[in-house]
């Protein structure tokens, strides 16, 4: 009994035992654990820290922890600690955050760092827990790149459809340019130089040329691999712009326009070129539909509700049969001899990609109504 009560050689000192246990934890931890003195000198450096930074514990022991950091933190680290000890004001102590580490060879890597303060009887020390997150970062980057590639691929698929639509849209201004140029030649050849006629024809040529240019620009914009195309847009502005682009068609076809734009519209985050393209399609369709009709009025209005801005384009054309009200949105569905049947299908996908909806309905008194919504979102004032 006596012997059992006495300490024996095999029974270890509890302090030593705790130390051994602590060391085992430090040695097997997956995270790098580094302790430093208040002057920044490294006091311990566990095996995981050796693996992460590429230094052996002997190499860094006693050196300033700044050796593990890239500039400018490297130069400023002493100031960080001094400042903390003086003011208690902390940028990193007590919180975890993501910083850049520097390996022995000079390579930089992203790491998560949590620092805590250890108050000993005679001094303060700091413990830093370091996790190398470069693999995770690489995977995230790769996933983002894949997503981007995927988005690009699907844009290219849509592009195939768009090319034939754009070829068709380009043909219109080009044909107009040719016929106005022919008209100029005839006027000049006739010997009766009607300057007003000539001026008007030349103006048409330059307008149509500009329109063709804007179509080509839309195509270039579309093909460009853009990360973000959204900017803060004023939808009423876009409507006015579209009417301006189409003013010759509107005048030549003797069409009246009626506009009613809500005055309190917030800006929306949207792709200006695409929304303009949708409106151009809708108004051009309205103009086409009213050819040969007695009353030719295209009405445009914008409206605001709690969640959306609604844009309406209506006309006094013949409208469409209920049997084709959904078919109209299918790619290549057209009732026009020179139609491509792409306008509405592309317009719908553009609006849906903006989180809105594009629908068509028949007016009771005849004529078609196309409505699309764009969600208010956070608007934003970026550009």
Which residues make up the interface to ligand ADP (CB under 6 A)? 281, 285-286, 289, 315, 317, 319-320, 328, 333-336, 339-345, 368
- Tell me if the bond preceding 72 is cis, omega within 30° of 0: yes
Q: Residue 180 Cβ, how far from ligand ADP at the closest point, in Å?
A: 23
Q: Which is nearer to ligand ADP, 33 or 342 (CB)?
A: 342
DSSP 123-151: -EEEEEEEEE-HHHHHHHHHHHHHHHHHH
Q: Residue 256 Cβ, how far from ligand ADP at the closest point, in Å?
A: 16
Q: Residue 223 Cβ, how far from ligand ADP at the closest point, in Å?
A: 21
Number of other CB atoms surrounding residue 232 within 10 Å: 16
Q: Which of 123, 45, 111 has the alpha carbon at shortest distance from 73?
A: 111
Q: How many CA atoms lie within 13 A of 302 on its CB side?
A: 19
Q: Residue 264 Cβ, how far from ligand ADP at the closest point, in Å?
A: 28
Closest residue to ligand ADP: CB criterion: 343
Q: In terms of C-beta density within 10 A (0-12 exposed, 13-18 middle, 19 or more buried), how is residue 279 classed?
A: buried
| CA distances from residue 323 to 22, 287, 326, 327, 361 in whole angstroms, order as listed | 79, 22, 8, 8, 12
Q: Which is nearer to ligand ADP, 101 or 341 (CB)?
A: 341
Q: Which is nearer to ligand ADP, 204 or 340 (CB)?
A: 340
DSSP 324-347: GTTGGGSTT---STT--S-HHHHH
Q: Residue 282 Cβ, how far from ligand ADP at the closest point, in Å?
A: 7
Q: Which is nearer to ligand ADP, 41 or 327 (CB)?
A: 327
Q: Which is nearer to ligand ADP, 208 or 345 (CB)?
A: 345
Q: Which is nearer to ligand ADP, 150 or 336 (CB)?
A: 336
Rounded-to-integer distance, Cα 115 and Cα 77, Å: 13
Q: Residue 303 Cβ, how far from ligand ADP at the closest point, in Å?
A: 19
């Amino acid at each position: 009994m006596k012997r059992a009560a006495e300490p024996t050689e095999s029974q270890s000192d509890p302090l030593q035992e705790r130390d051994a246990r602590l060391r085992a934890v430090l040695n097997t931890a997956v995270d790098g654990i580094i302790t430093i003195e208040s002057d920044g000198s490294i006091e311990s450096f566990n095996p995981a820290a050796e693996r992460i930074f590429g230094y052996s514990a002997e190499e860094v022991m006693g050196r300033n922890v700044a050796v593990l950091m890239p500039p400018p933190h490297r130069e400023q680290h002493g100031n960080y600690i001094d400042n903390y000890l003086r003011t208690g004001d902390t940028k990193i102590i007590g919180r975890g955050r993501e910083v850049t580490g520097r390996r022995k060879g000079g390579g930089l890597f992203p790491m998560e760092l949590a620092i805590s303060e250890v108050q000993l009887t005679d001094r303060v020390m700091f413990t830093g827990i370091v996790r190398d997150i470069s693999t995770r970062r690489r995977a995230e980057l790769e996933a983002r790149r894949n997503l981007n590639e995927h988005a690009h691929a699907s844009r290219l698929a849509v592009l195939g459809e768009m090319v034939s639509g754009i070829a068709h849209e380009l043909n219109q201004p080009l044909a107009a340019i040719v016929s106005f140029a022919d008209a100029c030649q005839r006027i000049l050849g006739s010997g009766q130089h009607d300057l007003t006629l000539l001026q008007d024809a030349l103006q048409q040529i330059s307008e149509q040329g500009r329109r063709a240019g804007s179509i080509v620009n839309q195509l270039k914009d579309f093909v460009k691999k853009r990360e973000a195309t959204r900017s803060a847009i004023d939808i009423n502005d876009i409507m006015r712009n579209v009417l301006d682009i189409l003013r010759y068609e509107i005048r030549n076809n003797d069409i009246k326009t009626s506009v009613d734009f809500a005055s309190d519209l917030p800006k929306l985050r949207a792709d200006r070129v695409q929304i303009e393209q949708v409106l151009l399609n809708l108004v051009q369709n309205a103009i086409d539909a009213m050819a040969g009709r007695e009353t030719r009025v295209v009405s445009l209005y914008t409206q605001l509700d709690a969640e959306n801005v609604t844009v309406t384009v209506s006309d006094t054309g013949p409208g469409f049969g209920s049997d084709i009200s959904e078919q109209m949105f299918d790619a290549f569905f057209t009732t026009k001899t020179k139609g491509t049947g792409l306008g509405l299908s592309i317009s719908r996908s553009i609006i849906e990609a903006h989180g809105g909806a594009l629908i068509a309905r028949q007016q009771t008194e005849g004529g078609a109504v196309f409505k699309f919504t764009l969600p208010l979102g956070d608007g934003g004032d970026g550009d």
